[in-house]
């Protein structure tokens, strides 16, 4: 049993199978003798939800080009790939929720496959700095509106890279 006190700040995290991991900070409001719910907790102000990944992800470095709708375009590096999206690193600052087009060539069993996919920026973080001091940003990018054929091409590339590419093994 946890030893908590009224007024104590607690962090709560729980995993809902097949859905997501939820977490929030709250305060203990009261202690109860009931074993089912021994603590009262204040309503959290915010709840963070991190969805479980649906697809296998392979660490893979590829050159890419991106174009944000009504915004910047430029070169980026793909640092991981799944049928559902990519991890991108670039110098440009992008906003969470930004709609963009990502272009790259995927290595696969029959040679490189060029893809052009609509996507949305889901996560934003700082990656680091270049020796010259330029800030690099890391973006979690989810593919949107892709057809089954494209998804199959990406899955084939992911599986091939996981099983045959010496750079990944």
Residue 18: pLDDT band with limits 50, 70, 90? low
27 and 65: one domain? no
Q: Tell me the per-residue pLDDT of 51-103, one tens digit each, with 9 for 90 and over.
A: 666 676 778 889 999 999 999 999 999 998 888 899 999 999 999 999 999 99
Residue 18: how many CB atoms within 10 A of its CB? 6
Cβ contact 106:82 at 8 Å: no
24 and 80: one domain? no
In a domain, 1, yes or no: no
44 and 107: one domain? no
In a domain, 2, yes or no: no
46 and 117: one domain? no
92 and 111: one domain? yes
In a domain, 3, yes or no: no
The domain of 44 spans 9-51
15 and 93: one domain? no
In a domain, 169, yes or no: no
129 and 108: one domain? yes
Question: What span, in angstroms and rounded, lies between the C-alpha atoms of 119 and 141?
Answer: 6
**Domain containing 102 — which CATH number?**
2.40.10.220
Residue 33: pLDDT band with limits 50, 70, 90? confident
Give the helix/strand (H/E) hosting 48: strand 48-51
Q: Tell me the CA distances in angstroms from 134 to 65, 77, 101, one per residue in order.
A: 19, 15, 24
Q: Tokens 């060539």 label which residue?
A: 105
95 and 120: one domain? yes
74 and 145: one domain? yes
> Span 136-163, mean pLDDT?
83
Mean model confidence pLDDT for the chain: 85
Q: Of 105, 70, 104, nearest to 90 (Cα)?
A: 104
Q: Of 106, 105, 100, 103, nearest to 144 (Cα)?
A: 100
Q: Of 103, 106, 113, nearest to 81 (Cα)?
A: 106
127 and 45: one domain? no
Q: Tell me the CA distances in angstroms from 167 to 62, 71, 143, 164, one per residue in order.
A: 12, 34, 24, 9
Radius of gyration of the chain (CA): 21
Can you read off the two tokens belonging to residue 91?
């110098």
74 and 134: one domain? yes
Cβ contact 161:113 at 8 Å: no
Give me the number of domains the chain comprises: 2
Question: What span, in angstroms and rounded, lies between the C-alpha atoms of 159 and 47?
Answer: 35
76 and 116: one domain? yes
């Amino acid at each position: 049993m946890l030893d908590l006190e009224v007024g104590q700040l607690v962090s709560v995290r729980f995993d809902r199978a097949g859905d997501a991991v939820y977490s929030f900070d709250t305060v203990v409001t009261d202690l109860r003798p009931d074993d089912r719910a021994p603590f009262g907790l204040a309503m959290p102000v915010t709840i963070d939800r991190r969805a479980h990944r649906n697809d296998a992800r392979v660490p893979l470095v590829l050159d890419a080009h991106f174009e944000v709708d009504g915004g910047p375009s430029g070169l980026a590096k793909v640092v991981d790939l799944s049928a559902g999206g990519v991890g991108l690193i670039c110098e440009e600052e992008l906003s969470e929720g930004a709609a963009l087009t990502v272009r790259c060539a995927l290595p696969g069993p029959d040679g490189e496959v060029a893809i052009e996919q609509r996507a949305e920026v889901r996560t934003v973080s700082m990656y680091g700095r270049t020796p010259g001091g330029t800030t690099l940003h890391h973006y979690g990018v989810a593919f949107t509106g892709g057809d089954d054929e494209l998804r199959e091409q990406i899955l084939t590339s992911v599986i091939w890279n996981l099983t045959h590419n010496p750079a990944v093994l």
